[in-house]
Structure 1
Amino acid sequence: MQEEELNKYLKAGEIACRVRKEAERITKPFMKVLELVNKLENLIKNLGAEPAFPINVSINDVAAHYTPTINDELTIPENAVVKIDIGVHIDGYIADTATTVSFDKRYTQLVEAAREALINALKIVKPGIKFHEIGRVIEETIKRHGYRPIYNLSGHSITRYTIHAGDVIPNYRDLKSIGRLKPGKAYAIEPFATNGTGFVKEAPLVTIYALKPNPKRVKTLSSEARKLYEVIYNSRRTLPFALRWYLNTVNVEKIVDMITELALQGLVVEYPVLIEKDRGIVTQFEHTLVVTSSSIYITTDSC
């Protein structure tokens, strides 16, 4: 990894760290989720970066992939357990971090289970460590608290402009996961804990999308859908996006039809909201790290 690349990873991580701390400070019951996300995404931009994906605000049994829709009226409930997942990029170099803010004392230990799992995992990381060893520490930590990890959610490798870049770091001791942390690469370690079954399922709601480029199929789009595609591609490439970001580009009444047209042409990937199968409460913490031949940089713990 070149020094310039490392510096961009580090700067993105510093900004993500600052935004995460601001999220922990300002998140409150009865706050509109759209207001929270707008403040945090604007902060990312004001600090000199761009969102790597729409900020996720996943409440209670919702584990991941909820970002506000257009004119979203959802508010944070009084006794909510709120997971805030933040992505930042500088020139495509990504930092991915998450935290949980709980307003219900019944779930204090569930929050600590995920937090401690991340802390313990980061204590053992080093160049060459096997992914399943990281997963073992995460699983053992969460189970010591009396809870389960989410078995079908995981950490992941990160490359330029790609958040999930192929490698999977399990949240349990999966001996089939034989990969290792390799120098020159970036990874996100992302424990989820639950008092439910330990598995998530897709809900019938999509709020996050990403382009899947295919130049031949782009030519078949209507002129309005092609314009939307080009605007998104020029600003995001294949990074995830939310429809609310493009209301200044197209009419709000037409944007849903346009994204449907893109999906029918296979030009967009949809990320359904994920919920715990047994409707258990879910907690989450996450850091990004960059591996060199001699050391580990935890980029999102640097502010």
Structure 2
Amino acid sequence: MKEEVFERYIQAGKVASTILRKGGDLIRPDVSLALTAAEVEQMVIDAGLGVAFPVNISLNESAAHDTPSPEDDRTFKAGDMVKLDLGVHLDGYIADTALTVDLGDQNLLVEASIAARDAAIAKVKPGVTIGELGTAVAAEIGSRGYRPIANLTGHGLDQFRLHMGPNVPNVGGIGGAVLEEGMAIAIEPFATTGTGYVNDQKRVEIFSQMAWKPVRMPTSRKILKEIEPLNGLPFARRHLKTPKPDLSLLRLVREGVLHAYPVLADVPGSYVSQAEHTMIVTSDGCVVTTA
């Protein structure tokens, strides 16, 4: 990895770490999810960096991909388990980091995902397989009586690419991709009181462009023009200034131009915790950019 690229990852990580902590402090009972998301994203903009994806605020059994809608009136409630997942980029080089705020009494579940993340990070170095990382994650979560979410993974990062190989599993395994010096990866264990699997929900607020081709509807063209500066990074419906975008969003998804990200959730009544850091693999370990 070139030195200037490394420094961009480091700078993005420092900003993301600071804002994530400030964002976590905003999460209290009766506080608006919409205002929290807007304030966190504005902190990123005020710092002179880019929002790499809409801030995810996922409650209780929801693990990922929830973000407020334009008309959202939800507030945090006592007893909620809140996942705050933040992405920041500098010239497309991304820091992806997350924490869980427990508004109830499930500290051990929060601890499980943190311990799993840290155990996996301790193993990161060139030559280690992703299976070894998943084994470390699963052991920490299982030892506390919870399940890792098997169909969610950490992931590699590259310029303007939020999710790419290698995928970093949250369950044990043998072999798999081998870590190499210069890789940028995000490790993000999810611990759950539920089944250990998430499913797509009806709620969809996040999209990204996956194909670049002509479209006919004027509103669709406006949306694509509006998101062009994102270089394919995800956006939220609430980010759009194009009026009445819903029909065009659906059409763009059907035409394969946009990818939709449904909310991912375990079974109703369960609770999910998440912890995440971004790191660069070095010759003898790694540098955690979001610590």
User: In 2, distance between residues paired with 1:243 and 1:172?
Assistant: 33
CA deviation string 1:161-184 (max 9, x = no partner): 111112111111122x51121112
* Residues 263-272 or 289-298, more deviating: 289-298
Q: Secondary structure of the residue that 1:163 maps to in structure 2?
A: strand
RMSD: 1.2
Q: CA deviation at 1:277?
A: 3.3
Q: Does 1:244 align with 2:238?
A: yes
Alignment check: 8 A CA contact 1:197 1:278 kept: no
User: In 2, distance between residues paired with 1:96 and 1:242?
Assistant: 17
* Residues 180-189 or 275-284, more deviating: 275-284
Q: CA deviation at 1:42?
A: 0.2
Q: Secondary structure of the residue that 1:167 maps to in structure 2?
A: strand
Give the TM-score normalised by structure 1.
0.93
Amino acid at match of 1:108: N
Alignment check: 8 A CA contact 1:211 1:269 kept: yes
Matches within 5 A, 1:127-142: 127-142=126-141
User: In 2, distance between residues paired with 1:296 and 1:171?
Assistant: 19
Q: CA deviation at 1:197?
A: 1.0
Q: Secondary structure of the residue that 1:280 maps to in structure 2?
A: coil
Residue 81 of structure 1 corresponds to 81
User: In 1, distance between residues paired with 2:23 and 2:72?
Assistant: 19
Q: Secondary structure of the residue that 2:248 maps to in structure 1?
A: helix
Residue 219 of structure 2 corresponds to 224
Residue 166 of structure 1 corresponds to 165
Q: Does 1:185 align with 2:179?
A: no
Structure 1 or 2: larger helix share?
1
Residue 193 of structure 2 corresponds to 195
Amino acid at match of 1:194: T
CA deviation string 1:122-172 (max 9, x = no partner): 222112211111111111111111111111111111111111112111111
Q: CA deviation at 1:279?
A: 4.1
Check 1:80–1:278 CA distance in 2 against 1; reply closer, same or farther (3 A cut): closer
Residue 265 of structure 1 corresponds to 255
Q: CA deviation at 1:13?
A: 0.5
CA deviation string 1:198-236 (max 9, x = no partner): 111111111110012232xx2x32223212202202x21
Matches within 5 A, 1:1-303: 1-105=1-105, 107-175=106-174, 177-215=175-213, 218=214, 220-233=215-228, 235-247=229-241, 250-251=242-243, 254-277=244-267, 279-301=269-291
User: In 1, distance between residues paired with 2:269 and 2:283?
Assistant: 42
Runs ≥4 residues deviating over 6 A: none
Alignment check: 8 A CA contact 1:221 1:261 kept: no
User: In 2, distance between residues paired with 1:94 and 1:8?
Assistant: 8
User: In 1, distance between residues paired with 2:117 and 2:257?
Assistant: 35
CA deviation string 1:15-67 (max 9, x = no partner): 11011110121211111100000000000111111111000000100111000
User: In 2, distance between residues paired with 1:79 and 1:232?
Assistant: 37
User: In 2, distance between residues paired with 1:50 and 1:123?
Assistant: 29
Give the TM-score normalised by structure 2.
0.97
Check 1:278–1:36 CA distance in 2 against 1; reply closer, same or farther (3 A cut): closer
Identity of aligned residues (%): 36
Structure 1 or 2: larger strand share?
2
Check 1:163–1:65 CA distance in 2 against 1; reply closer, same or farther (3 A cut): same
Q: Which residues of structure 2 form unaligned runs of 5+?
A: none
User: In 2, distance between residues paired with 1:37 and 1:114?
Assistant: 23
